[in-house]
Chains A and B, each alone.
Chain A
Amino acid sequence: MTTRIVELRRGILKKNDELAAGLRERYAEAGVLVLNLVSSPGTGKTAFLERTLRELKAHGARVAALVGDLETDNDARRLAASGAPVRQINTHGICHLDAEMIDKHLAGWEGVELGGLDYLFIENVGNLVCPSSYDLGEKIRVALLSVTEGEDKPLKYPTLFNSADAAVITKMDIAEPCGFDRELALRNINEIRPGIRIFETSSKTGAGMGEWLAYLAEERSLRG
């Protein structure tokens, strides 16, 4: 038997990365700020997004959301109550969204054109591991962490937190009964992603939402 070695040196996710680069260009041309929201299941992504959509709409912003789940359109129905166009992506067992799913769901989305939007939110499948490998062309990747989770989540999932552009702590209204160690959580996030913007929020009381919305507006204006 004779063997030979074929050099390849190729990114395994090259196809996804190329598609994501194309999406990023389209978002930029359309002038829409795209955010990818990632967290464990149960962190409160949907509640946080619900409140964000509602408040942005109240400020006259044009918003829409794509929401990923393995099954059901429960989240899309919840978010649609905000009045914003929402489209569910069911991955049927796949643990993350990829650029192709986004591309497919942007196509033929009745009544929604990228050019007609100020903000597009993508709520990823609840998972702190796999979504970190898949670029969706977003400008801002948001890692969410709730006060009911361990303060050491960032240390346990460094890949995601290190690749995030902003971090959101949710459910601050129940921080005290949960014995949430705020200082420790902030320190851990900073240890993995030094200098990252951190928002401490409550979707229930609205705490921290003003700062979050100001950040969104600022990021959008930076797009030019």
Chain B
Amino acid sequence: MHELSIVSSVVETVMESLAPYPGARVVEVRLRVGALSAVIEDSLQFCFGIASEGTPVQGARLVVTIVPVVMHCAGCGVDVELKSVQSFRCPQCDAPCFDLRQGRELEIESFEIDDGLETTGGEEIGVKA
């Protein structure tokens, strides 16, 4: 259950990055989370609501993209995507794989803001820039 620590860091980082956009409200935050990063998306979603409360990030959607585990297979000489994290073997030749190339990511990819500019009074339906 370190998801609260993780999303607290996310909220903190996004808020720091909001400095050039005074008055902006965050509508979406996109994360890239490796399949081997040991965080659970449901917990991230749950904790995100708590961590963002009372901040300009409150109410934003959290979009989580899971990044599959990719190992380099020395035998085949190529990067291979693991079918499951229960076995670190090459899906092509079944040899054990030692070299992890992808799958531990814990990254903020981007966030989307509504900076309140160009808003026409009373209009409720939004257009994405």
Q: A residues near B, CB below 8 A?
A: 1-15, 94-96, 98, 129-130, 132-134, 155, 157-160, 162-163, 190-195
One of A11, A96, A133 near B39 (C-beta < 8 A): A133
Are A8 and B109 in contact (CB-based, < 8 A)?
Answer: yes
One of B38, B115, B117 near A129 (C-beta < 8 A): B38
- Residues of chain A within 8 A (CB-CB) of B37 are 133, 159
Are A12 and B111 in contact (CB-based, < 8 A)?
Answer: no
Are A2 and B106 in contact (CB-based, < 8 A)?
Answer: no
Are A130 and B106 in contact (CB-based, < 8 A)?
Answer: no
Q: What 5 A-B pairs have minimum CB-CB distances, sorted nearest first?
A: A194-B96, A1-B126, A130-B2, A159-B38, A158-B85
Chain A nearest Cβ from B107, distance in angstroms: 6
CA distance A195 to B39 in the complex (A): 26
- Select from chain B the residue with minimum beta-carbon distance to A154: B86
- Select from chain B the residue with minimum beta-carbon distance to A8: B108
Chain B nearest Cβ from A173, distance in angstroms: 30
CA distance A194 to B100 in the complex (A): 12
CA distance A160 to B10 in the complex (A): 22
Q: A9-B108, A192-B88 are in contact. Are A4 and B115 (CB under 8 A)?
A: yes
Are A1 and B119 in contact (CB-based, < 8 A)?
Answer: yes
Interface size on B, residues (CB 8 A): 44
- Residues of chain B within 8 A (CB-CB) of A14 are 13
**Contacts A8-B110, A191-B86 supplied; 12 other A-B pairs, CB < 8 Å:** A1-B123, A2-B119, A5-B111, A6-B17, A9-B107, A12-B108, A13-B6, A95-B1, A133-B2, A157-B38, A159-B38, A194-B96
- Residues of chain B within 8 A (CB-CB) of A94 are 2, 5
Q: A13-B9, A13-B106, A159-B38 are in contact. Are A8 and B17 (CB under 8 A)?
A: yes
Are A3 and B38 in contact (CB-based, < 8 A)?
Answer: no
Q: A12-B9, A159-B36 are in contact. Are A7 and B110 (CB under 8 A)?
A: yes
CA distance A99 to B82 in the complex (A): 30
Are A162 and B88 in contact (CB-based, < 8 A)?
Answer: yes
Are B86 and A158 in contact (CB-based, < 8 A)?
Answer: yes
- Residues of chain A within 8 A (CB-CB) of B104 are 159, 163
Which of B5, B21, B36, B123 has the largest count of A CB atoms less than 10 A from its CB? B5
14 pairs of residues in contact across A and B, judged by CB atoms under 8 Å = A2-B127, A3-B113, A3-B126, A4-B113, A6-B17, A6-B111, A8-B13, A8-B109, A95-B2, A98-B5, A159-B36, A160-B38, A162-B88, A162-B100
Are B112 and A6 in contact (CB-based, < 8 A)?
Answer: yes
Q: Is B65 at the interface (CB under 8 A from chain A)?
A: no
Are A1 and B127 in contact (CB-based, < 8 A)?
Answer: yes
Are A1 and B107 in contact (CB-based, < 8 A)?
Answer: no
- Residues of chain B within 8 A (CB-CB) of A132 are 38
Chain A nearest Cβ from B25, distance in angstroms: 9
Are A12 and B112 in contact (CB-based, < 8 A)?
Answer: no
Chain B nearest Cβ from A125, distance in angstroms: 10
Are B2 and A9 in contact (CB-based, < 8 A)?
Answer: no
Chain B nearest Cβ from A15, distance in angstroms: 7
- Residues of chain A within 8 A (CB-CB) of B87 are 191-192
Chain B nearest Cβ from A183, distance in angstroms: 17
Are A12 and B31 in contact (CB-based, < 8 A)?
Answer: yes
- Residues of chain B within 8 A (CB-CB) of A162 are 36, 85, 88, 100
Are B88 and A193 in contact (CB-based, < 8 A)?
Answer: yes
